[in-house]
Homo-oligomer: A and B are copies of this chain.
Amino acid sequence: MAHLLIVGGSDAGISAALRARELAPSADVTVLVADHFPNYSVCGLPFFLSGEVSDWHTLAHRTLGQIESEGITVLLDHRAEQVDPVGKMVAAVARGGRCRSLSYDRLVIATGAVPNAPAFSARRLPGVFCLRSMRDAFVLHEYLGRFEPRSAVIVGSGYIGLEMADALSRAGLSVTVVVRSSVLRTVDPSLSDIVRDELSRNQVKVVDAGSVTGIEKDDSGGLSVRMGAQASVHGDLVLLATGIRPETALGETAGASLGVGGAIHVNRGMGTNVPSIYAAGDCAETWHRLLGRYTYLPLGTTAHKQGRVAGENAAGGHAEFAGSLGTQVVKIFELVVARTGLLHSEASEAGFDPFTVDLESPDHKAYYPGATSLRMRLTADRRTHAVLGAQLLGHYRAEVAKRADVVATAISGHMTVDDLLSLDLSYTPPLSSPWDPVQMCAHEWLQVLGGSGSPNMKS
Protein backbone atom coordinates (compact mmCIF):
# COMPACT_ATOMS: atom_id res chain seq x y z
CA MET A 1 0.00 0.00 0.00
CA ALA A 2 1.50 3.30 -1.14
CA HIS A 3 2.15 5.85 1.53
CA LEU A 4 1.53 9.42 0.39
CA LEU A 5 2.70 12.20 2.62
CA ILE A 6 1.56 15.74 2.03
CA VAL A 7 3.07 18.70 3.83
CA GLY A 8 0.65 21.60 3.99
CA GLY A 9 -3.02 21.74 4.89
CA SER A 10 -4.15 24.62 2.76
CA ASP A 11 -5.58 24.64 -0.78
CA ALA A 12 -2.84 22.72 -2.60
CA GLY A 13 -2.22 20.17 0.14
CA ILE A 14 -5.83 19.23 0.75
CA SER A 15 -6.60 19.15 -2.98
CA ALA A 16 -3.68 16.77 -3.44
CA ALA A 17 -4.87 14.55 -0.60
CA LEU A 18 -8.45 14.41 -1.86
CA ARG A 19 -7.43 13.66 -5.43
CA ALA A 20 -5.02 10.94 -4.32
CA ARG A 21 -7.67 9.23 -2.20
CA GLU A 22 -10.16 9.51 -5.01
CA LEU A 23 -7.88 7.70 -7.46
CA ALA A 24 -6.21 5.32 -5.03
CA PRO A 25 -8.77 4.52 -2.35
CA SER A 26 -6.39 2.05 -0.76
CA ALA A 27 -3.50 4.51 -0.48
CA ASP A 28 -2.44 5.70 2.94
CA VAL A 29 -2.67 9.47 2.70
CA THR A 30 -1.36 11.66 5.51
CA VAL A 31 -1.39 15.45 5.63
CA LEU A 32 0.89 17.39 7.96
CA VAL A 33 -0.66 20.70 8.95
CA ALA A 34 1.64 23.21 10.63
CA ASP A 35 -1.18 24.84 12.55
CA HIS A 36 -4.60 23.90 13.77
CA PHE A 37 -6.52 25.03 10.72
CA PRO A 38 -6.60 22.69 7.77
CA ASN A 39 -8.35 23.72 4.56
CA TYR A 40 -9.30 27.24 5.59
CA SER A 41 -10.10 29.87 3.01
CA VAL A 42 -7.39 32.39 3.77
CA CYS A 43 -8.83 34.54 0.97
CA GLY A 44 -11.71 35.08 3.37
CA LEU A 45 -9.66 36.60 6.17
CA PRO A 46 -10.28 40.23 5.19
CA PHE A 47 -14.02 39.58 5.38
CA PHE A 48 -13.66 38.13 8.87
CA LEU A 49 -11.73 41.21 9.95
CA SER A 50 -14.26 43.56 8.37
CA GLY A 51 -17.04 41.91 10.33
CA GLU A 52 -18.81 40.71 7.19
CA VAL A 53 -18.03 37.13 8.25
CA SER A 54 -18.92 36.90 11.92
CA ASP A 55 -17.79 33.35 12.65
CA TRP A 56 -14.32 32.40 11.44
CA HIS A 57 -15.23 28.72 11.58
CA THR A 58 -17.32 29.26 8.46
CA LEU A 59 -14.13 30.05 6.55
CA ALA A 60 -13.30 26.33 6.43
CA HIS A 61 -13.72 24.89 2.94
CA ARG A 62 -14.22 21.59 4.77
CA THR A 63 -14.13 20.65 8.43
CA LEU A 64 -11.45 18.38 9.79
CA GLY A 65 -14.13 15.72 10.17
CA GLN A 66 -15.06 15.98 6.49
CA ILE A 67 -11.45 15.58 5.45
CA GLU A 68 -10.93 12.63 7.74
CA SER A 69 -14.13 11.03 6.53
CA GLU A 70 -12.48 10.74 3.12
CA GLY A 71 -9.96 8.41 4.72
CA ILE A 72 -7.22 11.01 5.03
CA THR A 73 -5.03 11.14 8.13
CA VAL A 74 -4.53 14.71 9.28
CA LEU A 75 -1.76 15.52 11.73
CA LEU A 76 -2.38 18.98 13.14
CA ASP A 77 0.35 21.17 14.68
CA HIS A 78 3.05 19.23 12.88
CA ARG A 79 5.77 21.33 11.40
CA ALA A 80 7.89 19.47 8.86
CA GLU A 81 11.52 20.42 9.27
CA GLN A 82 13.62 18.16 7.10
CA VAL A 83 13.31 15.74 4.22
CA ASP A 84 15.62 12.79 3.69
CA PRO A 85 14.99 12.03 0.02
CA VAL A 86 17.14 8.90 0.07
CA GLY A 87 15.59 7.30 3.12
CA LYS A 88 12.26 8.84 2.12
CA MET A 89 11.62 10.26 5.55
CA VAL A 90 10.27 13.59 6.79
CA ALA A 91 11.28 14.86 10.22
CA ALA A 92 8.54 16.90 11.87
CA VAL A 93 8.10 18.67 15.15
CA ALA A 94 4.75 18.22 16.79
CA ARG A 95 3.15 20.59 19.27
CA GLY A 96 5.17 20.63 22.47
CA GLY A 97 8.41 19.94 20.65
CA ARG A 98 8.05 16.24 20.14
CA CYS A 99 10.01 15.08 17.11
CA ARG A 100 8.53 12.54 14.71
CA SER A 101 9.85 10.77 11.69
CA LEU A 102 7.38 9.99 8.93
CA SER A 103 8.13 7.80 5.97
CA TYR A 104 6.73 8.25 2.51
CA ASP A 105 6.63 6.63 -0.88
CA ARG A 106 5.58 9.88 -2.54
CA LEU A 107 5.82 13.30 -0.97
CA VAL A 108 3.86 16.45 -1.91
CA ILE A 109 5.31 19.71 -0.66
CA ALA A 110 2.59 22.34 -0.34
CA THR A 111 4.15 24.71 2.14
CA GLY A 112 2.67 27.84 0.64
CA ALA A 113 4.13 31.30 0.92
CA VAL A 114 5.11 33.72 3.65
CA PRO A 115 4.91 37.50 3.76
CA ASN A 116 7.84 39.35 2.32
CA ALA A 117 9.99 40.71 5.09
CA PRO A 118 10.07 44.49 4.89
CA ALA A 119 13.46 46.10 4.26
CA PHE A 120 13.25 47.72 7.69
CA SER A 121 12.83 46.02 11.03
CA ALA A 122 9.34 46.58 12.39
CA ARG A 123 7.58 43.28 12.29
CA ARG A 124 7.84 42.69 16.00
CA LEU A 125 6.62 46.06 17.24
CA PRO A 126 3.26 45.76 19.01
CA GLY A 127 0.55 47.03 16.69
CA VAL A 128 2.36 45.94 13.51
CA PHE A 129 0.71 43.07 11.71
CA CYS A 130 0.74 41.05 8.60
CA LEU A 131 -2.02 38.83 7.26
CA ARG A 132 -1.31 35.46 5.83
CA SER A 133 -2.37 32.75 8.26
CA MET A 134 -5.37 32.10 10.45
CA ARG A 135 -3.14 32.96 13.40
CA ASP A 136 -2.27 36.34 11.86
CA ALA A 137 -5.98 37.02 11.56
CA PHE A 138 -6.74 36.03 15.15
CA VAL A 139 -3.97 38.25 16.47
CA LEU A 140 -5.20 41.23 14.49
CA HIS A 141 -8.83 40.50 15.35
CA GLU A 142 -8.02 40.39 19.04
CA TYR A 143 -6.09 43.65 18.79
CA LEU A 144 -9.03 45.33 17.06
CA GLY A 145 -11.38 44.15 19.81
CA ARG A 146 -9.15 44.90 22.76
CA PHE A 147 -7.54 48.21 21.83
CA GLU A 148 -10.24 49.63 19.56
CA PRO A 149 -7.72 51.37 17.30
CA ARG A 150 -9.18 54.29 15.43
CA SER A 151 -6.74 54.44 12.58
CA ALA A 152 -4.67 52.09 10.48
CA VAL A 153 -1.82 52.47 8.05
CA ILE A 154 -1.59 49.78 5.39
CA VAL A 155 1.76 49.45 3.69
CA GLY A 156 1.18 48.03 0.25
CA SER A 157 -1.61 48.39 -2.28
CA GLY A 158 -1.91 44.98 -3.84
CA TYR A 159 -4.92 42.73 -3.35
CA ILE A 160 -4.46 42.16 0.38
CA GLY A 161 -3.65 45.80 1.06
CA LEU A 162 -6.75 47.02 -0.75
CA GLU A 163 -9.08 44.36 0.59
CA MET A 164 -7.87 45.27 4.06
CA ALA A 165 -8.36 48.98 3.38
CA ASP A 166 -11.97 48.09 2.60
CA ALA A 167 -12.21 45.73 5.58
CA LEU A 168 -10.76 48.07 8.19
CA SER A 169 -12.87 50.95 6.88
CA ARG A 170 -15.96 48.82 7.30
CA ALA A 171 -14.75 47.99 10.80
CA GLY A 172 -14.83 51.72 11.51
CA LEU A 173 -11.15 52.64 11.29
CA SER A 174 -9.74 55.59 9.47
CA VAL A 175 -7.40 54.04 6.92
CA THR A 176 -4.32 55.28 5.09
CA VAL A 177 -2.74 53.21 2.34
CA VAL A 178 0.93 53.75 1.64
CA VAL A 179 1.64 53.06 -2.01
CA ARG A 180 5.07 52.25 -3.30
CA SER A 181 4.65 52.73 -7.02
CA SER A 182 1.05 52.46 -8.17
CA VAL A 183 -2.22 51.28 -6.65
CA LEU A 184 -3.05 47.76 -7.79
CA ARG A 185 -0.18 47.28 -10.17
CA THR A 186 -1.86 44.20 -11.62
CA VAL A 187 -3.83 46.52 -13.91
CA ASP A 188 -2.85 49.49 -16.04
CA PRO A 189 -3.05 53.07 -14.76
CA SER A 190 -6.26 53.94 -16.62
CA LEU A 191 -7.99 51.40 -14.40
CA SER A 192 -5.94 51.65 -11.24
CA ASP A 193 -6.65 55.39 -11.16
CA ILE A 194 -10.33 54.52 -10.82
CA VAL A 195 -9.49 52.22 -7.93
CA ARG A 196 -7.67 55.12 -6.30
CA ASP A 197 -10.79 57.26 -6.73
CA GLU A 198 -12.91 54.50 -5.19
CA LEU A 199 -10.60 54.49 -2.17
CA SER A 200 -10.93 58.27 -1.82
CA ARG A 201 -14.68 58.08 -2.26
CA ASN A 202 -14.65 55.77 0.76
CA GLN A 203 -12.45 58.06 2.86
CA VAL A 204 -9.34 55.93 2.48
CA LYS A 205 -6.30 58.17 2.27
CA VAL A 206 -3.72 57.18 -0.31
CA VAL A 207 -0.12 58.29 0.26
CA ASP A 208 2.53 57.82 -2.38
CA ALA A 209 5.87 56.93 -0.90
CA GLY A 210 9.02 55.98 -2.72
CA SER A 211 9.50 53.46 0.04
CA VAL A 212 8.85 53.00 3.70
CA THR A 213 12.05 53.34 5.70
CA GLY A 214 10.86 52.45 9.15
CA ILE A 215 8.07 52.11 11.65
CA GLU A 216 8.39 53.35 15.21
CA LYS A 217 6.28 54.12 18.22
CA ASP A 218 5.31 57.75 18.28
CA ASP A 219 4.55 60.13 21.13
CA SER A 220 0.81 59.58 21.04
CA GLY A 221 1.25 55.90 21.76
CA GLY A 222 0.50 54.97 18.18
CA LEU A 223 2.82 54.09 15.34
CA SER A 224 4.58 56.26 12.85
CA VAL A 225 5.39 54.95 9.40
CA ARG A 226 8.39 56.85 8.09
CA MET A 227 8.96 57.43 4.42
CA GLY A 228 12.45 58.90 4.06
CA ALA A 229 13.68 61.76 6.19
CA GLN A 230 10.68 64.06 5.92
CA ALA A 231 7.39 62.31 5.61
CA SER A 232 5.53 60.02 7.93
CA VAL A 233 1.99 58.87 8.56
CA HIS A 234 0.45 57.93 11.84
CA GLY A 235 -1.80 55.03 12.72
CA ASP A 236 -2.92 53.11 15.77
CA LEU A 237 -1.99 49.99 13.89
CA VAL A 238 0.09 49.15 10.85
CA LEU A 239 -0.57 46.31 8.44
CA LEU A 240 2.29 45.21 6.24
CA ALA A 241 0.91 43.96 2.96
CA THR A 242 4.01 44.01 0.83
CA GLY A 243 3.59 40.73 -0.97
CA ILE A 244 4.58 37.18 -0.38
CA ARG A 245 7.44 34.86 -1.23
CA PRO A 246 7.40 31.08 -1.65
CA GLU A 247 8.12 29.05 1.48
CA THR A 248 10.76 26.69 0.14
CA ALA A 249 12.85 25.80 3.20
CA LEU A 250 11.51 22.27 3.46
CA GLY A 251 11.87 21.65 -0.25
CA GLU A 252 15.46 22.85 -0.10
CA THR A 253 16.30 20.31 2.60
CA ALA A 254 15.11 17.69 0.12
CA GLY A 255 17.43 19.04 -2.54
CA ALA A 256 14.65 20.55 -4.62
CA SER A 257 15.89 23.10 -7.13
CA LEU A 258 14.41 26.56 -7.03
CA GLY A 259 13.28 28.37 -10.15
CA VAL A 260 11.39 31.50 -11.11
CA GLY A 261 10.79 33.88 -8.22
CA GLY A 262 12.66 31.56 -5.88
CA ALA A 263 9.82 29.03 -6.04
CA ILE A 264 10.35 25.28 -6.18
CA HIS A 265 11.01 24.29 -9.74
CA VAL A 266 8.49 21.81 -11.06
CA ASN A 267 7.55 20.11 -14.30
CA ARG A 268 4.05 20.13 -15.81
CA GLY A 269 3.22 17.11 -13.66
CA MET A 270 4.21 19.12 -10.55
CA GLY A 271 7.22 16.87 -10.00
CA THR A 272 10.36 18.45 -8.59
CA ASN A 273 13.87 17.45 -9.61
CA VAL A 274 13.92 15.04 -6.66
CA PRO A 275 12.45 11.59 -7.35
CA SER A 276 9.07 10.94 -5.74
CA ILE A 277 8.73 14.53 -4.54
CA TYR A 278 6.08 16.87 -5.91
CA ALA A 279 5.41 20.51 -5.10
CA ALA A 280 2.20 22.49 -5.58
CA GLY A 281 0.61 25.79 -4.69
CA ASP A 282 2.24 29.01 -3.55
CA CYS A 283 5.62 27.34 -2.89
CA ALA A 284 5.95 26.18 -6.50
CA GLU A 285 6.45 27.66 -9.93
CA THR A 286 3.43 28.19 -12.18
CA TRP A 287 3.25 27.14 -15.81
CA HIS A 288 1.84 30.05 -17.81
CA ARG A 289 -0.45 28.99 -20.60
CA LEU A 290 0.15 31.98 -22.83
CA LEU A 291 3.81 32.57 -22.13
CA GLY A 292 4.63 28.89 -22.47
CA ARG A 293 7.09 29.10 -19.61
CA TYR A 294 7.19 29.01 -15.84
CA THR A 295 6.34 32.06 -13.77
CA TYR A 296 5.55 32.69 -10.13
CA LEU A 297 1.87 33.49 -9.81
CA PRO A 298 0.63 32.41 -6.38
CA LEU A 299 -3.18 32.25 -6.45
CA GLY A 300 -5.71 30.08 -4.65
CA THR A 301 -7.30 28.88 -7.88
CA THR A 302 -3.91 27.72 -9.14
CA ALA A 303 -3.07 26.06 -5.83
CA HIS A 304 -6.22 23.95 -6.05
CA LYS A 305 -5.46 22.87 -9.59
CA GLN A 306 -1.78 22.20 -9.00
CA GLY A 307 -2.61 20.27 -5.84
CA ARG A 308 -5.06 18.14 -7.77
CA VAL A 309 -2.40 17.35 -10.39
CA ALA A 310 0.26 16.60 -7.75
CA GLY A 311 -2.17 14.34 -5.87
CA GLU A 312 -3.12 12.50 -9.03
CA ASN A 313 0.50 11.88 -9.99
CA ALA A 314 1.56 10.99 -6.47
CA ALA A 315 -1.17 8.34 -6.65
CA GLY A 316 0.37 6.95 -9.82
CA GLY A 317 -1.48 9.01 -12.42
CA HIS A 318 -0.23 11.06 -15.35
CA ALA A 319 -1.88 14.45 -15.03
CA GLU A 320 -0.49 17.72 -16.33
CA PHE A 321 -1.20 21.18 -14.99
CA ALA A 322 -2.80 23.00 -17.91
CA GLY A 323 -1.38 26.29 -16.77
CA SER A 324 -2.39 29.65 -15.45
CA LEU A 325 -3.40 32.81 -17.25
CA GLY A 326 -3.05 34.87 -14.10
CA THR A 327 -6.82 35.29 -14.02
CA GLN A 328 -7.72 37.17 -10.87
CA VAL A 329 -10.36 39.42 -9.41
CA VAL A 330 -10.67 41.63 -6.36
CA LYS A 331 -13.60 43.48 -4.84
CA ILE A 332 -12.78 46.87 -3.32
CA PHE A 333 -15.78 48.61 -1.81
CA GLU A 334 -18.33 48.75 -4.67
CA LEU A 335 -15.78 48.05 -7.36
CA VAL A 336 -14.60 44.85 -8.90
CA VAL A 337 -11.36 44.68 -10.85
CA ALA A 338 -10.51 41.57 -12.85
CA ARG A 339 -7.84 40.58 -15.28
CA THR A 340 -6.71 37.61 -17.28
CA GLY A 341 -3.72 37.00 -19.48
CA LEU A 342 -1.06 39.60 -20.09
CA LEU A 343 -0.90 43.35 -19.73
CA HIS A 344 0.27 45.22 -22.81
CA SER A 345 3.73 45.68 -21.30
CA GLU A 346 4.00 42.01 -20.37
CA ALA A 347 2.92 40.97 -23.85
CA SER A 348 5.59 43.21 -25.34
CA GLU A 349 8.27 41.77 -23.11
CA ALA A 350 7.17 38.27 -24.06
CA GLY A 351 7.79 39.00 -27.73
CA PHE A 352 4.23 39.53 -28.88
CA ASP A 353 3.26 42.58 -30.92
CA PRO A 354 0.45 43.76 -28.68
CA PHE A 355 -2.20 46.31 -29.45
CA THR A 356 -4.53 47.49 -26.68
CA VAL A 357 -7.78 49.42 -26.65
CA ASP A 358 -9.97 50.81 -23.89
CA LEU A 359 -13.72 50.77 -23.85
CA GLU A 360 -16.25 52.20 -21.49
CA SER A 361 -19.83 51.01 -21.82
CA PRO A 362 -22.85 50.38 -19.63
CA ASP A 363 -22.85 46.85 -18.18
CA HIS A 364 -26.36 46.37 -19.58
CA LYS A 365 -28.81 48.30 -21.73
CA ALA A 366 -28.82 51.80 -20.32
CA TYR A 367 -32.59 52.06 -20.44
CA TYR A 368 -33.00 49.30 -17.88
CA PRO A 369 -32.57 50.61 -14.34
CA GLY A 370 -29.30 50.10 -12.53
CA ALA A 371 -26.88 50.22 -15.45
CA THR A 372 -23.35 51.04 -14.34
CA SER A 373 -20.20 51.87 -16.20
CA LEU A 374 -17.98 48.98 -17.19
CA ARG A 375 -14.44 49.55 -18.36
CA MET A 376 -12.42 47.10 -20.32
CA ARG A 377 -8.96 47.00 -21.80
CA LEU A 378 -8.31 44.35 -24.40
CA THR A 379 -4.83 43.36 -25.51
CA ALA A 380 -4.28 41.18 -28.57
CA ASP A 381 -1.54 40.56 -31.07
CA ARG A 382 -1.50 43.00 -33.94
CA ARG A 383 -0.45 40.42 -36.49
CA THR A 384 -2.33 37.26 -35.49
CA HIS A 385 -5.21 38.96 -33.62
CA ALA A 386 -4.70 36.34 -30.87
CA VAL A 387 -6.31 37.50 -27.64
CA LEU A 388 -3.57 38.06 -25.07
CA GLY A 389 -5.28 39.64 -22.11
CA ALA A 390 -8.08 41.71 -20.69
CA GLN A 391 -8.59 43.97 -17.74
CA LEU A 392 -12.08 44.82 -16.57
CA LEU A 393 -13.41 47.15 -13.94
CA GLY A 394 -16.92 47.89 -12.85
CA HIS A 395 -19.55 47.71 -10.19
CA TYR A 396 -19.53 44.48 -8.23
CA ARG A 397 -23.04 43.68 -9.48
CA ALA A 398 -22.00 44.04 -13.11
CA GLU A 399 -20.76 40.51 -13.88
CA VAL A 400 -17.24 41.86 -14.26
CA ALA A 401 -15.53 38.69 -13.04
CA LYS A 402 -17.32 36.26 -15.31
CA ARG A 403 -16.75 38.58 -18.26
CA ALA A 404 -13.04 38.28 -17.54
CA ASP A 405 -13.64 34.53 -17.48
CA VAL A 406 -15.17 34.63 -20.95
CA VAL A 407 -11.91 36.15 -22.15
CA ALA A 408 -9.87 33.63 -20.13
CA THR A 409 -11.83 30.85 -21.81
CA ALA A 410 -11.28 32.44 -25.20
CA ILE A 411 -7.53 32.67 -24.57
CA SER A 412 -7.45 29.02 -23.55
CA GLY A 413 -9.26 28.22 -26.77
CA HIS A 414 -6.59 30.10 -28.76
CA MET A 415 -9.18 32.52 -30.05
CA THR A 416 -8.64 35.73 -31.97
CA VAL A 417 -10.39 39.05 -31.43
CA ASP A 418 -12.50 38.20 -34.49
CA ASP A 419 -13.55 34.99 -32.75
CA LEU A 420 -14.61 36.98 -29.67
CA LEU A 421 -16.87 39.04 -31.88
CA SER A 422 -18.47 35.89 -33.27
CA LEU A 423 -19.19 34.28 -29.90
CA ASP A 424 -22.82 33.56 -29.20
CA LEU A 425 -23.14 35.22 -25.80
CA SER A 426 -26.30 35.65 -23.80
CA TYR A 427 -28.41 38.79 -23.78
CA THR A 428 -31.33 40.22 -21.91
CA PRO A 429 -31.59 43.99 -21.35
CA PRO A 430 -31.20 43.79 -17.54
CA LEU A 431 -27.89 41.95 -17.90
CA SER A 432 -26.13 42.86 -21.14
CA SER A 433 -26.46 44.23 -24.65
CA PRO A 434 -26.95 42.35 -27.91
CA TRP A 435 -23.20 42.71 -28.28
CA ASP A 436 -21.81 42.07 -24.84
CA PRO A 437 -19.33 44.72 -23.66
CA VAL A 438 -16.58 42.12 -24.21
CA GLN A 439 -17.61 42.05 -27.86
CA MET A 440 -17.97 45.83 -28.09
CA CYS A 441 -14.37 46.00 -26.92
CA ALA A 442 -13.34 43.37 -29.49
CA HIS A 443 -15.07 45.45 -32.14
CA GLU A 444 -13.31 48.58 -30.94
CA TRP A 445 -9.98 46.72 -31.11
CA LEU A 446 -10.59 45.74 -34.74
CA GLN A 447 -11.84 49.20 -35.65
CA VAL A 448 -8.98 51.10 -34.11
CA LEU A 449 -6.37 48.69 -35.46
CA GLY A 450 -7.97 49.01 -38.89
CA GLY A 451 -7.74 52.78 -38.63
CA SER A 452 -11.46 53.42 -38.43
CA GLY A 453 -12.51 55.18 -35.31
CA SER A 454 -16.26 55.00 -35.69
CA PRO A 455 -17.67 52.60 -33.14
CA ASN A 456 -21.09 51.45 -34.28
CA MET A 457 -21.55 48.62 -31.84
CA LYS A 458 -23.89 50.54 -29.57
CA SER A 459 -26.61 47.99 -29.66
Pick from B412, B413, B431, B452: contact of A329, CB below 8 A. Answer: B431
In the complex where A58-B366, A365-B41 touch, is A409 in contact with B402 (Cβ < 8 A)?
no
Contact indicator A322/B431 (Cβ below 8 Å): no
Pick from B53, B405, B454: contact of A423, CB below 8 A. Answer: B405
Binds B, one of A215-223, A377-385, A393-401: A393-401
Q: Is A96 located at the chain interface by the 8 A CB criterion?
A: no
How many copies the complex holds: the figure is: 2
Q: Is A444 located at the chain interface by the 8 A CB criterion?
A: no
Most buried by B among A11, A302, A338, A409: A409
By beta carbon, the residue of chain B nearest A56 is B367
Chain A 277-309 residues near chain B, CB threshold 8 A = 289, 299-305
Q: Is A410 located at the chain interface by the 8 A CB criterion?
A: yes
In the complex, how many residues of chain A place their beta carbon closer than 8 angstroms to a beta carbon of chain B?
A: 79
By beta carbon, the residue of chain B nearest A66 is B458
Chain A 1-44 residues near chain B, CB threshold 8 A = 11, 14-15, 18-19, 22, 41, 43-44
The CA of A47 and the CA of B366, in the complex, are separated in Å by 12
The CA of A367 and the CA of B454, in the complex, are separated in Å by 46
Contact indicator A304/B408 (Cβ below 8 Å): no
Contact indicator B399/A399 (Cβ below 8 Å): yes
Q: Is A59 located at the chain interface by the 8 A CB criterion?
A: yes
In the complex where A22-B456, A61-B459, A367-B59 touch, is A405 in contact with B404 (Cβ < 8 A)?
no
By beta carbon, the residue of chain B nearest A419 is B412
Chain A 198-238 residues near chain B, CB threshold 8 A = none
Most buried by B among A59, A397, A454, A456: A456
Chain A 240-298 residues near chain B, CB threshold 8 A = 289
Q: Is A430 located at the chain interface by the 8 A CB criterion?
A: yes
In the complex where A11-B459, A369-B52 touch, is A423 in contact with B431 (Cβ < 8 A)?
no
